[in-house]
Structure 1
């Protein structure tokens, strides 16, 4: 009978009241919506998944990415949050084991001298003192009879895994934001170079109209119109310089530097945008690749374990304790058998009446679980939407760039032709001004289309959960999480 009582805690230790966990179902998806003109790209086997931005073939971007990953404060915050969650898991696991304490004390007691008068005579008693030495070793343990500790650990572990996925998501967001800002800055460089060339052409046009006016061939209004167009373009150039500065400042913050001391040299007219082909995984693979989906799923698991924690409150708690030590008024005799003492105890506690508080907490836990399930499904649907939208954007923007390039070439030719006709005096300057404005707009639109294609490629990479590998598109997320875990564990 005694053996049965001793084994009872061990037999009940595996009991858990958390519902059996299954990953929530999501809407079935086996393919992407057909997009005219799109063909699956061949995976770039020479591009490592973690360094997907190297596909843009820009050494400056590669350098900035390294600096951002090492110094970005938002990423550092995500690392610290993950480490905090990992420490919380270790704390929860410690509850499986007894708590052991060691106490030592020395007590010195003294009484003062006293005087007593009896029948007219006085007697005195001297002061007394004593010293007591004690050493006590104690242990207490609350066996996990109904799975409260086990489910608490499961909750903490799932939360830790969610924070690791959040870390991967923070890194992916940082990489995407930095790439977008940098590519936009380079497009701004191209816009500034285009404006600079346009201003030179407008200056020449102003000189032509001035000469025509001085010769009595053209009215003064032609000069005014040329001056207005030149000043307007100069104002637009200043606005573009401001835009570039804003992108430069944003990049400085992302790489952890002071914008006041951070600069990126302009590349002028050497901009040659590269748009990589991004292999698109099947919809089912997105569930394994995207860190935000992984985080949402782990939060569901944590909420499921919390239900078990709250259900365990309906059952009694058992606490076991044991103390042993030595107590003596002599240090030399402290550790003798005569000075030894020990005690063993057990305590059972149960809540008899709480007016529905425990039931309410269980209902709260269940609804928190339902909320996390809904969030997981919403995150998944949003992920599918992100990929589909950016897949369409990649195809449409490629077509637009081709058409805008044709429009820009035609507008440039029209501008030059009308300017020659104006010199010959066969047309009014209004026609030239209109052609010049059309050509400038076409050039700006072409540059914007080019950077939009690059940014769409970045967005598609983010929507897919990161870069790619030729061998396996679905194992990349695990590799990235392992890399993030290794970096997060560094001191």
Structure 2
């Protein structure tokens, strides 16, 4: 570092030329990023035509919940998108990551500082008696104004690798935000669909109760007429009360789903009420031959891949610690003991010069840090691969689940049709006095069980469809463009 009281001369030009040559020859140490290789099959085994494709998490997901054609559901999800508090937390984390990126980018540029101040100092005059008698003469005021510029030349790419890691972390945070938003949307849609199925079950039980009340009244009339015994009345009353209990049980189940929807929208349960409707949203048809490229837009897979990128960049930052840091400083200003002529040419000073800082011995600290970040990289690669494998597993599971539920629904529909016909015939025989009421009770219980089983399978199919959509990263919008490619 040089320090001169005069004006900077042309000697700065060789320094600037040397600096430019040094920066032009600089490189970023550490490995350049490459996407890790994945172990994956060529296609999904559960459905023909599903094949693996390149990552495409940038594809638009769209309002996938609109596939259920329910305007009220659309309104609820839109409210969730703006008011869900868990999503708000991840959004704040993403803004933090963006701020860190701006901070890392700012480190590539010079820092400009302005310092002004007044200093008062005293110096002894020799003997103590002399100091006491001439105390005032030993005090001196100094006025300073200094403008300084400092810049760390990123010769070895440490700052650039740090910025690369920060940008990758910000992208991972953005993907985490998208993953959480998708998760919350999926949870709300599942809760809503299950609530609507419960409404249908409630209507079924209410209609069944009315039929059981008529049966009880008929049985009581027959008992008074001496046609039936008291056991038939007891059986009819037991069946009625059991169904009433089942109807009451549905109330708290519905309340749980309703309260969950309220919280997902950022509302207190006491402030939210979802009225019953007469329709269940239709089950969406899954297109045949959906490519597995849609799986690659899953935000959690994107977040895991961006984390690998950040870990790779951190290796470069750690390895750059083996090389010296080059800092260029330039400062100038005015210093005077008199305020009146403080800002004047004779009181001007300046200094300029480079500074190299290199750690000569650290007992293996830098080597240990490199080993650590390399191990972190290996960990993130394994996490990324596991996330992809888990994604394939989830899609396979939900596709098999939907296929099995579809087959089960067909069989249960046939069983329900047979149960309804059996109930009709048995009821006619009972009214004609050909059979006892116990036979009617058994057939009624079988019919009701089949009615509820059909609704339960429908509920499972609706929930599985939402889970499949979420597992694919948000539906199959963009399918035509994927096929065209």
TM-score after normalising by structure 2: 0.87
Matches within 5 A, 1:317-336: 317-336=325-344
What's 1:286 paired with? Answer: 295
What's 2:346 paired with? Answer: 338
What's 1:167 paired with? Answer: 177
Bigger mean CA offset, 338-347 vs 26-35: 26-35
CA contact 2:46–2:400 (8 Å) conserved in 1: no
Distance in 1 (alpha carbons) for counterparts of 2:361 and 2:392 = 49
CA contact 1:318–1:347 (8 Å) conserved in 2: yes
Q: Does 1:400 pair with 2:408?
A: yes
Matches within 5 A, 1:472-483: 472-473=481-482
Are residues 33 and 328 of structure 1, via their aligned partners in 2, closer, same or farther at CA, if it must alter by over 3 Å?
A: same
Q: Does 1:187 pair with 2:165?
A: no
Are residues 2 and 75 of structure 1, via their aligned partners in 2, closer, same or farther at CA, if it must alter by over 3 Å?
A: closer
Distance in 2 (alpha carbons) for counterparts of 1:224 and 1:39 = 57
Distance in 1 (alpha carbons) for counterparts of 2:354 and 2:414 = 87
Q: Does 1:7 pair with 2:17?
A: no
What's 1:57 paired with? Answer: 69
CA contact 2:291–2:482 (8 Å) conserved in 1: no
Matches within 5 A, 1:84-95: 84-95=96-107
CA apart distance, 1:221: 1.5
Bigger mean CA offset, 334-343 vs 386-395: 386-395
Are residues 177 and 125 of structure 1, via their aligned partners in 2, closer, same or farther at CA, if it must alter by over 3 Å?
A: closer
Bigger mean CA offset, 89-98 vs 298-307: 89-98
* 1:69-115 deviation digits (Å, cap 9, x = unpaired): 1111111112111111011011111111122110111346799xxxx
Are residues 49 and 144 of structure 1, via their aligned partners in 2, closer, same or farther at CA, if it must alter by over 3 Å?
A: closer
Distance in 2 (alpha carbons) for counterparts of 1:174 and 1:396 = 26
Distance in 2 (alpha carbons) for counterparts of 1:52 and 1:117 = 91
CA contact 1:210–1:223 (8 Å) conserved in 2: yes
CA contact 1:273–1:450 (8 Å) conserved in 2: no
What's 2:3 paired with? Answer: none
CA contact 2:209–2:244 (8 Å) conserved in 1: yes
Aligned residue pair count: 456
Distance in 1 (alpha carbons) for counterparts of 2:89 and 2:176 = 11
What's 1:199 paired with? Answer: 209
Distance in 1 (alpha carbons) for counterparts of 2:168 and 2:134 = 71
CA apart distance, 1:130: 5.7
Runs of 4+ aligned structure 1 residues displaced above 6 Å come to: 123-126
Superposed CA RMSD: 2.7
What's 1:460 paired with? Answer: 468
CA apart distance, 1:127: 5.2
CA apart distance, 1:260: 1.1
Q: Give the secondary-structure state (helix, strand or coil) at the position aligned to 1:379.
A: helix
Are residues 124 and 108 of structure 1, via their aligned partners in 2, closer, same or farther at CA, if it must alter by over 3 Å?
A: closer
Return 5+ residue gaps in structure 2 as ranges.
Answer: 1-13, 52-59
* 1:108-161 deviation digits (Å, cap 9, x = unpaired): 6799xxxx999xxxx987956764321111122221222211111111000001
Distance in 2 (alpha carbons) for counterparts of 1:117 and 1:233 = 110
Q: Does 1:277 pair with 2:285?
A: yes
What's 1:80 paired with? Answer: 92
Distance in 2 (alpha carbons) for counterparts of 1:244 and 1:415 = 29
Distance in 2 (alpha carbons) for counterparts of 1:463 and 1:3 = 56
Determine which of 446, 452, 463 is the counterpart of 2:454: 446
What's 2:368 paired with? Answer: 360
